[in-house]
Chains A and B, each alone.
Chain A
Amino acid sequence: MGRVLMKGCEAIAEAAVRAGCRFYAGYPITPQNEIPEYLSRRLPEVGGVFVQGESEIASVNMVYGAGQTGTRSMTTSSSTGVSLYSEGIAFCASARIPIVYVNVARGGPGIGSIQPSQQDYLQATKASGNGGFQMIVLAPSTVQEAADMTYRAFDLADRDRNPVLILSDGVIGTIMEPVELPPAKTEEEVKANKESKRSWACVGHKLDVAHRSWIQPGTFLPARLEERNKAAAEMYASWEPEAEEYLLEDAEIVITAYGISARIAKSVVDDMRREGKKAGLIRPITVNPFPYASYEKINYGVCKGILDVEMAIPALMVQDVKMGVKGRAPIETCLCSGGNIMRKGTVRKAAEELLLR
């Protein structure tokens, strides 16, 4: 299949269907409404279920319930709506229910603005709910990546029996770009996937009491909960971070950014390289686990500084960047917030200033 021009939100929705997602619940909020709009039409075509919930809280709990049956399930929202997911996602993590959810982020805090932003980084990567659970968080920088990551997120969620978050933003959600869609799982594959979860899923075990399923988001026994949390921590530690490391060997300035900011930053790096200026880029692809090791690849002998570019004020990812850089080079920030979109010229100016040091 060739490339098609698709909106980011629609590519996410179609990729989910192709990955075998057969249950979706969500509540409308800009700028992600094209996801439920698309799925309301598309899911019934493949025998799936679409529900417009009465709220975000209802929606995330429906997805929690559907996930318990082994059905690949998803919900999506934006920023202030994702805040309402906190309890439900923490329950999914605690009960080890694989679900996928997407944040098409907008300006904040609170209801903020409907325009794009990257202000939910810490919420997404550090504490999407209570209890210190962790998730793999993927940050797409193109519509193609939004589709590919959504498709892959279902496999990761099933592998770990844990929620997976796609941290996107209102630009990636609303731009149209050419995309090659991943192959659609056949009905047999979708059934086999669900069947593979029979050992733990609530699919009806009749009177076979010994093998019945019991979804437990908690326990009254501290010793048992500690064991479960230890097992989860081991799983978190096994995750491999992913990053794009671009032209670092001789880079005198390294720009670091994720998602929408990263593609803008990369085009600045290319422009500077064309003029013989030695710029490089580190783009976290998984923002959790964070690719701290990528910052070891910087040539600190020649690097004059790191430029952290984010559509967030105050800067948020910079906290992780500092832990990666460990004081070996100065770190400056280039920021916008509230729904303003990062400009190429703004990044270029900040990079040039750092280069002059």
Chain B
Amino acid sequence: METNLLVGGFGGQGVMTLGKFLASATCDSTEKNVTFFPSYGAEQRGGTANCYVVISDHPVGAPIPDEADDLIVMNEASLHRFIDMLKPGGTLFVNSSIVESEPDRMDIHIVKAPVTDLALKMGNPRVLNIIMLGVYAGYTGVIPEEVVWETIARKFAKKPGVLAVNKEAFEKGLAIGRKAAEE
């Protein structure tokens, strides 16, 4: 069993952090193999940023898969750039706060989450990626939710001030993901 995820967005949206947290959680708390491959533009902020996470029961061959099982798009440009990489029957996770287009594919599942708006409402625009990670974990269950949360908590151990807001963000995402999975 191998599952791969492609995350696309712009620099500053926490795309790499989302992928890295998922990969870390897999490494720390499961027996599975995992690879995380980052791909940046030259810019620090505002440029394109995307990453690939492959989680597998056997050794991972290609860290950059030919097609994605799951695709998270955090901005409009990533939707257009990567939608054709999503395999038939795959799931598209959309940051519906800023992605306005509807993908013209009928052969995929779509999970919409207004993560930018939710983060702004929470008073911390930076947690949009943690909300989306929650959506992904809640919907796919690719690794257990609590394992993902333990990793997030460990990463923020030195910044206890932001732990609560990240917990809230992750749980908001989980709720959206679980609900979408039920439907």
* A106 at interface, CB cutoff 8 A: no
A175 in contact with B35 given A263-B59, A266-B61 (CB within 8 Å):
yes
A341 to B34, CA, bound (A): 19
Contact assessment for A177 and B61 in the assembled complex, using a CB-CB cutoff below 8 Å: no
Number of B residues with CB within 8 Å of any CB on chain A? 20
Contact assessment for A176 and B36 in the assembled complex, using a CB-CB cutoff below 8 Å: yes
The interface residues of chain A lying within 8 Å CB-to-CB of B65 are 344
Per-residue interface assignment for chain A, residues 21 to 37, with 1 indicating a CB less than 8 Å from any chain B CB and 0 otherwise: 00000000000000000
The interface residues of chain A lying within 8 Å CB-to-CB of B27 are 3-5, 178
Q: Whole-angstrom distance from the CB of B182 to the nearest CB of chain A? A: 32
The interface residues of chain A lying within 8 Å CB-to-CB of B24 are 5
The interface residues of chain B lying within 8 Å CB-to-CB of A5 are 20, 23-24, 27-28, 34, 36
Q: Which residue of B lies closest to A143 (CB)?
A: B35
B residues 56-112 near A (Cβ < 8 Å) are 58-66
Q: Whole-angstrom distance from the CB of B25 to the nearest CB of chain A? A: 9
Q: Whole-angstrom distance from the CB of B35 to the nearest CB of chain A? A: 5
Q: By DSSP majority rule, is chain B's interface helix, strand, loop, or mixed?
A: mixed
A265 to B62, CA, bound (A): 9
B residues 18-56 near A (Cβ < 8 Å) are 20, 23-24, 27-28, 33-38
Q: Which residue of A lies closest to B42 (CB)?
A: A114
> Range of interface residues on chain A?
20 to 34
The interface residues of chain A lying within 8 Å CB-to-CB of B58 are 270
Q: Which residue of B lies closest to A174 (CB)?
A: B38
The interface residues of chain A lying within 8 Å CB-to-CB of B64 are 171, 341, 343
The interface residues of chain B lying within 8 Å CB-to-CB of A174 are 37-38
Q: Whole-angstrom distance from the CB of A247 to the nearest CB of chain B? A: 15
Contact assessment for A175 and B66 in the assembled complex, using a CB-CB cutoff below 8 Å: no
* A268 at interface, CB cutoff 8 A: yes
* A314 at interface, CB cutoff 8 A: no
The interface residues of chain A lying within 8 Å CB-to-CB of B33 are 177-178
Contact assessment for A264 and B62 in the assembled complex, using a CB-CB cutoff below 8 Å: yes
Taking a contact as CB atoms closer than 8 A, the residue among A171, A267, A342 that contacts B37 in the complex is A171
Q: Which residue of A lies closest to B64 (CB)?
A: A341
A3 to B23, CA, bound (A): 13
Q: Whole-angstrom distance from the CB of B57 to the nearest CB of chain A? A: 12
Q: Whole-angstrom distance from the CB of A354 to the nearest CB of chain B? A: 19
A175 in contact with B37 given A3-B27, A5-B24, A5-B27 (CB within 8 Å):
yes
* A345 at interface, CB cutoff 8 A: yes
A345 to B60, CA, bound (A): 15
Contact assessment for B66 and A176 in the assembled complex, using a CB-CB cutoff below 8 Å: no
Q: Whole-angstrom distance from the CB of B63 to the nearest CB of chain A? A: 5
The interface residues of chain B lying within 8 Å CB-to-CB of A263 are 59-62
Q: Whole-angstrom distance from the CB of B33 to the nearest CB of chain A? A: 7
The interface residues of chain A lying within 8 Å CB-to-CB of B62 are 263-264, 267, 342-344
Q: Whole-angstrom distance from the CB of A292 to the nearest CB of chain B? A: 26
A171 in contact with B34 given A3-B27, A5-B23 (CB within 8 Å):
no
A residues 243-280 near B (Cβ < 8 Å) are 263-268, 270
Per-residue interface assignment for chain B, residues 140 to 177, with 1 indicating a CB less than 8 Å from any chain A CB and 0 otherwise: 00000000000000000000000000000000000000
A263 to B35, CA, bound (A): 12
A117 to B133, CA, bound (A): 32
A176 to B17, CA, bound (A): 12
Q: Whole-angstrom distance from the CB of B171 to the nearest CB of chain A? A: 24
Contact assessment for B34 and A178 in the assembled complex, using a CB-CB cutoff below 8 Å: yes
Q: Considering the complex of A and B, which 6 residue pairs feature the smallest CB-CB distances, nearest first?
A: A267-B61, A5-B27, A176-B36, A345-B66, A344-B62, A178-B27
Give chain A's interface residues, CB within 8 Å of chain B. Answer: 3-5, 142, 171, 174-178, 263-268, 270, 341-345
Known: A171-B63, A175-B37, A266-B59. 9 other contacts (CB 8 A): A5-B34, A174-B37, A175-B35, A176-B36, A178-B27, A178-B34, A264-B61, A267-B62, A344-B65
Show 5 residue pairs from A and B whose CB-CB distance is below 8 angstroms, ordered by the A residue: A142-B59, A171-B64, A263-B62, A267-B62, A345-B66
